[in-house]
Each structure stands twice: as structure tokens, then as C-alpha cells.
Amino acid sequence: MTPWGIRSKLRGAVSGLVGGSRGGTAPATEQLRVKLLLPDGTEHEVRCEERYTLVMASQTLDTPIATGCPDGQCGGCQVEVLEGAQALLAPSAAEQKLLSEKHAGKANARLACHAKVIGSGARVKVQSVWSMESTRGE
């Protein structure tokens, strides 16, 4: 113990940050659940906050959903909603336009960079993921 209790104050501050709240003053955010079926056949359940896009939600995985552009205009992050479409915010006009141009005729198609999670229970088939090999050009 230090004379001024610095260690205990630091420990309390750090544990508050690591635990996700600042000393118990911030309310806990509900974590919504989404299942992602990856191209290799594995299925992972991820948790995220409301209004996270599927791309944002996938960032906790070793191989997150691949995107081809920073602003959602390429259509490269197309996914297929297998179950729980009501757990995703309805497609915006911009997303509908991109889907009709780049993925016409694909039932249940969504763009992972646009599709926002609003509830638990969605199950989504991912078409492509990032990997270290793809970033190295292998």
C-alpha cells in the first residue's frame, strides 16, 4: 500500500474501464446476438450493440466480413439473410438501389455495411471474409 492509496485508485480506474463501465455510473448496453455462417462452413455468434452494421459486428471475429470500399458503394460485402430478417433494420433506399444494380434477383440479399442490427436472432450467410493471405496478395 502506498501512502496515498495510488495503487488502489489506479486498480479501480482500470477495472472500471476494462469492465465496460466507468465505476458503475454508465448504464450497461444490451448486447444483441447475430449468427454469422462463414464461407468455410463455421458458424459464429457475435454480440453487438443496437444499430451496429453487420460489418461492425463481425470485427470481433478472426476473419471479419470483407468490404471492398469505405463508403458502401461497391456491393462487395453482400450477405444472405437466412433467418431473422426482422432483427435487421429495413434496407434504405441507397442499399435497395445498390442491391438492384449489383445483386439483382438474389433473394434475401443485404449489404453488410448497410444492414444494421436492431434485435437478436438474425442468421446471416457471409460470402467473403478478410484473411491475412488476402491482404498479402497470396
The CATH classification number of 31-136 equals: 3.10.20.30
Q: What string of pLDDT tens digits covers the 138 residues of the chain?
A: 445 555 555 565 555 544 444 444 555 678 999 999 999 999 999 999 999 999 999 999 999 999 888 778 888 899 999 999 999 999 999 999 999 998 888 889 999 999 999 999 999 999 999 876 655 555
Q: According to the model, what pLDDT value does residue 21 have?
A: 43
Q: According to the model, what pLDDT value does residue 72 have?
A: 80
Q: Which residue intervals of the chain bear CATH 3.10.20.30?
A: 31-136
Rounded CA Rg of the chain: 19
DSSP state of 105: T
For 10-74, give the DSSP string: HHHHHHHHHTTSSTT-SPPPPPEEEEEE-TTS-EEEEEE-TT-BHHHHGGGSSSPBP-SSSSS-S
Q: According to the model, what pLDDT value does residue 38 have?
A: 96
In which region does residue 73 sit, left (phi positive, over 0), alpha (psi from -120 to 50) or beta (all else)? alpha
